[in-house]
Structure 1
Amino acid sequence: MNNINKAIELLLGKLENWGEHIILMLPNMAVAIILIIITFVVARFVRNGLDKVIGRISHSAAINNLISTILYIALLAVGFFFVLSVLQLDKVVISLLAGVGIIGLALGFAFQDIAANFISGIIIAVQKPFGVGDMIETNDYFGVIERVSLRTLDVRQPSGELVKLPNKMVFENPVTNYSNGGTRRIDLDVGVSYAEDLERVQQVAIEALQDVKNRVKTRDIEVMYDSFGDSSINFKVRFWVNYSRQIDFVSAKSDAIIRIKKAFDANDIMIPFPIRTLDFAIKGGEKLSEHLEQLQQGKDGRKVSEE
């Protein structure tokens, strides 16, 4: 019975001490509550103001939202630590800071690839080497950009597949942006017979491509002879087209091939087929025709002797 009474007295003493501490801490708690309210109000006000300012400088919604969110969280964290200090919980503040450092270090090692993609996404958003709707080629993938996020780049290939490329891969490897200049050059390989007048062929090809689809008429059409082939003299036809989609390039190239073929047919210009001469070496480089001739003579000689 005495033990029970002692336990009750100890409990009541603890509660009394806690009550006294709570009463003494009431002014600090009131100040802490006011600080929390002020922190949330100030953080929200700063975030809204920052959104308007950043929106005038940067047009990337992802990067704007990231900056404003980081600042908002930082202001809340500062206010929270002030509240702990007012409540005389300095040791808790130190412990929290140490814990945050350790946790941050552990997460950095565990999610370093995610962090690398995230940082690469921020740099891409700031530099803006490409945008949604651009036709690009990178990491052996070719297509139209559908979405640029802080972690991945979404590329829709001409055949319909959607490829999500990590920003780290895009940032660390070459990227060809075909939509950057708004124009693109088409190179066609053509061959004509050795019997043709090359200057006439050049003129016919240039005239044939004057009205090709999407052609940039401020740039000249170039016809440059390239090499002597096995059965033709080869040349390159080069001209520029307006480019916003891949269909602009493909349709212009197809139209150019049709126009050159029709123009050559109308002017009796021959595009020769490849010619191959097959030489069967029978004995030490002996030609097949000579060998057959010898065989034929041998047969004729046997026929005469038999008669």
Structure 2
Amino acid sequence: MDFNQITDLLTGKLTNWGTALIKLLPNIFLAAIVLVIGFYIAKFVRRISKKLIGKISHNITLNNLFSSVIYMVVLGIVIFTVLSILQLDKAVTSILAGAGILGLALAFAFQDIASNFMSGIFISFRKPLKVGDIVKLKDYMGKVISINLRDTVLQTFEGQTIIIPNKEVYQNAIDNYSYINKRRLDLSVGVSYGDDLAKVQQITLDAVKDIAERSQEDDVTVFFVEFGDSSINLSVRIWLNTPEQSVYVKVRSEAIMKIKIAYDANDIMIPFPIRTLDFGIKGGTTMTEMPVRFANQQ
């Protein structure tokens, strides 16, 4: 192949490319217009979707995430439309196939992360708990200090910070002590079998009814629950006007002191278990008899 043939070949290729480019100019112009308009439409849709989602969810992070996803979806549609206008259908097909394979691989590789992420979304919409609530999650009890898309952060009453994956939060039972904004204190007390139970019940009610943190909407209740080994046991139930743990502990301590003072003032005995110590190999020997029997054996 001589120089002239090479020149003719290159000239022919460039001519064909130039002709194809000239034929494609209207499509390029149209694709540019679609791309610019589509870009502004995607931004407008993101702004509108953010406002609409904000009416349903007050989680700013979640709202931004959803609006960004919608923005990327609209922008992706615009890009695929532009590629179709430019007659790059094969490129569009290749991109979609590659995206499907990549998405499948990522789904298998990050299934736990995806599960926690989706659980975080469901928690944000259902709102079984919120920041500041006192809850019990699995074996941990404390105050919720943060709810993220991947995990929930809990601070226990002992000062520990517990990070629980959202999948564990969503799939297990949640004890929310702040849901009704009050909390019940159950206090167990035992009295002697010789005491008047009606008198015990009334004195117990009078002893705790003036506690300041008690919910005025709910009455204090006293129920006798069982015959114990050395006492008749009763349960004192007091509703508090707040679920806070510090108030719960304070009222429990105050109730114990008030009940003890009231029982002492009215000769009500809080019994304690009695144990009989039996000395000797075969039993039946008291402690005073032990030295005498030991001396006789000498």
TM-score of the superposition, structure 2-length normalised? 0.90
**Are the aligned partners of 2:191 and 2:231 in contact in 1 as well (CA < 8 Å)?**
yes
Distance 1:280 1:294 in 2: 11
- Opposite residue 76 of structure 2, the aligned amino acid is A
Q: Distance in 2 between matches of 1:157 and 1:298?
A: 61
Q: How far did 1:136 drift?
A: 0.8
Q: Deviations over 1:126-177 (max 9, x none)?
A: 2111211111111111111122222111112112222221111111110111
Query: Which residue of the partner structure matches residue 285 of structure 2?
Result: 288
1:288 is paired with a residue whose SS is coil
Task: Tell me how far apart the structure 2 counterparts of residues 281 and 16 of structure 1 sit (CA, whole Å).
Answer: 121
Offset of 1:8 from its aligned partner? 6.0
Equivalent residues in 2 for 1:207-286, closer than 5 Å: 207-280=206-279, 282-283=281-282, 286=283
In 1: Cα distance, 2:240 partner to 2:288 partner: 57
Taking the aligned partners of 1:291 and 1:270, their CA distance within structure 2 comes to: 29
Query: What amino acid does structure 1 have at the position aligned with 2:43?
Result: R
Higher mean Cα deviation, 82-91 or 122-131?
122-131
Quick check: 1:101 aligned with 2:100? yes
Q: Compute the displacement of 1:60 (Å).
A: 3.0
Looking at structure 2, the residues matched to 293 and 254 of structure 1 have their Cα atoms a distance apart, in angstroms, of 44
- Secondary structure, in 3 states, of the residue corresponding to 2:200? helix
Quote the Cα distance in structure 1 between the aligned partners of 2:93 and 2:34: 20
Q: Is the 8 A contact 2:279 2:290 kept in 1?
A: no
**Equivalent residue for 2:80?**
81
In 1, the alpha carbon distance for the partners of 2:18 and 2:213 equals 85
Alignment pair present for 1:125 and 2:124 = yes
> Judging changes above 3 Å, is the alpha-carbon distance between structure 1 residues 280 and 162 closer, same or farther for their aligned structure 2 residues?
same
Whole-Å separation in 2 of the counterparts to 1:181 and 1:4: 91
Aligned position for 2:296: 299
Alignment match, 2:167: 168
Does 1:33 find its partner at 2:32? yes
Q: Name the stretch that deviates more: 145-154 or 192-201.
A: 192-201
**Aligned partner of residue 99 in structure 1, secondary structure:** helix
Where does residue 305 of structure 1 map in the other structure? none
Listed as ranges, the gaps of 5+ residues in structure 1 are 303-307
Q: One-letter code of the match for 2:210?
A: D
The answer (yes or no) to whether the contact 1:223–1:238 under 8 Å persists in 2 is yes
Amino acid paired to 2:167: K
Partner of 2:144: 145
Identical residues among aligned pairs (%): 47
Map Cα deviations across residues 91-127 of structure 1 (whole Å, 9 max, x no partner): 0011111111111111111111111111111211121
**1: CA distance, partners of 2:232 / 2:243:** 34
Shift in Å, 1:76: 0.5
User: 1:86 is aligned with what amino acid?
Assistant: I
Q: Quick one: distance in 1 between partners of 2:232 and 2:104?
A: 67
**Residue 193 of structure 1 aligns to which amino acid in structure 2?**
S
Which amino acid counterpart does residue 119 of structure 1 have in structure 2? M
Q: For the residues of structure 2 that align with 1:291 and 1:264, how far apart are their CA atoms?
A: 35
Q: Is the 8 A contact 2:35 2:79 kept in 1?
A: yes
Matches of 1:298 and 1:63, distance apart in 2? 86
Alignment gaps of 5+ in structure 2 = none
Aligned-residue offset at 1:79: 0.6
Q: CA 1:21–1:205 in 2, change beyond 3 Å: closer, same or farther?
A: same
Secondary structure of 1:106's counterpart equals: helix
**In structure 1, distance between residues paired with 2:36 and 2:201:** 81
Partner deviation per Cα, 1:66-96 (whole Å, 9 max, x = no partner): 3322221111111101110111111001111
Q: Distance in 2 between matches of 1:91 and 1:75?
A: 21
Contact preservation (8 Å) 2:183, 2:243: no
Code of the residue aligned with 2:285 in structure 1: it is L
C-alpha displacement of 1:187: 1.0
**Secondary structure of the residue that 2:286 maps to in structure 1?**
helix
Please state how far the C-alpha of 1:234 moved relative to its aligned partner.
1.9
- When the two structures are aligned, how many residues end up with a matched partner? 298
Q: Is residue 282–residue 291 contact of structure 1 (8 Å, CA) maintained in 2?
A: no
The answer on whether the counterparts of 1:242 and 1:248 sit within 8 Å (CA) in structure 2 is no
Q: CA deviation at 1:279?
A: 2.0
Quote the offset at 1:14 in angstroms: 3.7
Q: Could you report, residue by residue, the CA deviation over 1:1-32 in whole angstroms, capped at 9, with x for unpaired residues?
A: x6677656645544444333333322222221
Distance 2:3 2:160 in 1: 77
Equivalent position of 2:157 in the other structure: 158
Question: Between Structure 1 and Structure 2, whose CA radius of gyration is higher?
Answer: 1
